[in-house]
Amino acid sequence: MSESMISTKPYIVRAFYDWISDNQLTPYITVDVNVYGVLVPMAYVNDGQITLNISSSAIGAISMAGEQIDFSARFGGKLETLVIPYGAISAIYAKENGAGTSLAIEHPEVEDIPEEGSPTVLSTIKSDDKAMTKPKSQSKGRASLKVIK
């Protein structure tokens, strides 16, 4: 058996998503936008967090495979593509009754974060004509997004 096991968080989030949806309730997630790899419209972030309705009726096709959730949703009438690493999810719950769970934030290990200049498909997202890109390499601290014009 391997000494280091993968995170249980993706399995927990997918299980709660299915359970909430199977009960005809609306699954919401709360996301910490300070985790590396989170791509959301920053205009809708409040206190470093964003709460998202991830029900099938509110979003486009959703992919919950791998290490992140990918989907499209409309914000202010504009279609946005969102990427949410499982480590950034701090809660998943049903809107109607609050049933769900809170989760610990998991930041990726420094060696898991691509170095500056290495190709990455998750480097930008546009919202309200502002581009958000990953910041220049910082002193091996927490990664964050920066709004530029």
How many domains would you assign to the chain? 1
Is residue 1 assigned to a domain? no
Given a cut of 80, is residue 147 above it in pLDDT?
A: no
- CB neighbourhood size of 90 (10 A): 16
Question: CATH number, domain at 84?
Answer: 2.30.30.220
Residue pLDDT, tens place only, 87-138 = 999 999 999 999 999 999 999 876 656 665 544 444 334 344 333 333 333 3
Mean pLDDT over 7-12 rounds to 95
Is residue 4 assigned to a domain? no
Which structural domain range is residue 127 located in? 9-107+120-148
79: left (phi over 0), alpha (psi -120 to 50) or beta: beta
Pairing of the two strands 78-85 and 68-75: antiparallel
Residue pLDDT, tens place only, 54-88 = 999 999 889 999 999 999 999 999 999 999 999 99
Q: Which residues pair with 127 in a beta bridge?
A: 130
Given a cut of 70, is residue 52 above it in pLDDT?
A: yes
Is residue 31 assigned to a domain? yes
With cut-offs at 50, 70 and 90, classify the pLDDT of residue 3: confident
Is residue 113 assigned to a domain? no
